[in-house]
Amino acid sequence: MKRLLLSALLATLLAACQQVNTTSGGAVGANRKQSMLLSSAQVDQMAAASYADTIKKANQQGKLLPDTDPTVRRVRAISDRLIPQTVVFRPDAAQWKWEVNVEKSPELNAYCMPGGKIMFYTGIIERLKLTDDEIAQIMGHEIAHALREHGRERMSSEYGKAIAMQGGMQLLSIATGGKYDAYQDLAGGGLNALVDVTYSLPNSRTHESEADLIGLELAARAGYNPNAAVSLWQKMAAQGGGSGPEFMSTHPSSNTRIAELQAKVPVVMPLYEAAKVKATVSTPPKKTTKAK
């Protein structure tokens, strides 16, 4: 009986787990199939609620920079160039309800939650003395995580583990004649708690590699120098003493990361050059005053 119940549980998990490809490969070829147990709608809804709560708390604490702040304007100007490029990887991103905010904090961190909810901390901009090109690399990297739905993928994995664990507890309850409903805890808020847990976990090397490559291409298509990805991670590496910056605690580095980015720069450089030409053509010449 117990084996039949366990088999049924595993069969249900496998049936519910979808094999999807959230984005097209782009020039960098990020086209890995992904296993999803949760729907995009579920994850986007939870992420939006979590982001709204973050904004509310930051505002109450006086940490949320106003729309008129120069740093906010700078970050949003960069996002205005990057976000239109997301349709190359997934057209539906044009319909996302994008939000871009900046919080005053010494942390070296930034993120983009599912559905396009972006947050930058002033610490990462000020302490690393980031150029616009480097900010674009971080933003592209974080947007890439959202486009590829890495959060959903990780939450699906954690949710699957939780279901399996609860299923095992339920089997134990049945075997011992108990009446404990092992699923009530999972249904009673456990799913929402996965949002916080998931975003405190380190990203996998696979996720990081995909975000590096897609972010590199997004920035290049928006007219930001791809070589800035290399200088950015060199700055990050220089900050890696002691416990390391917060950004790297959830974005694990590797000895090959910079080398991998350097290898891909020639692939996206033509996109960057084309974007520069397009910007030059579309920008009207400045009026000059003749000398008298």
- Catalytic site positions: 142
Distance CA 16, CA 44 (A): 18
Closest CA to 236 of 141, 114, 105: 141
Q: Which residues of 86-113 are buried (b: 16+ CB within 10 A; e: fewer)?
A: bebbbeebeebebbbbbbbbeebbbbbb
Q: How far is CA 112 from CA 121, 128, 182, in A?
A: 12, 19, 34
User: Beta partners for 101?
Assistant: 119
User: Beta partners for 35?
Assistant: 19
* DSSP string computed for 61-122: TT-BPPTTSHHHHHHHHHHHHHGGGGGGT-GGGGGS--EEEEE--S---EEEETTTEEEEEH
Please provide the distance, in angstroms rounded to a whole number, between the alpha carbons at the two ends of the chain: 98
- Residue 148 three-state SS: coil
How do beta strands 99-103 and 110-113 pair? Answer: unpaired
Residue where the block lists tokens 């708390």: 57
Distance CA 61, CA 54 (A): 11
Distance CA 270, CA 266 (A): 8
Distance CA 185, CA 251 (A): 30
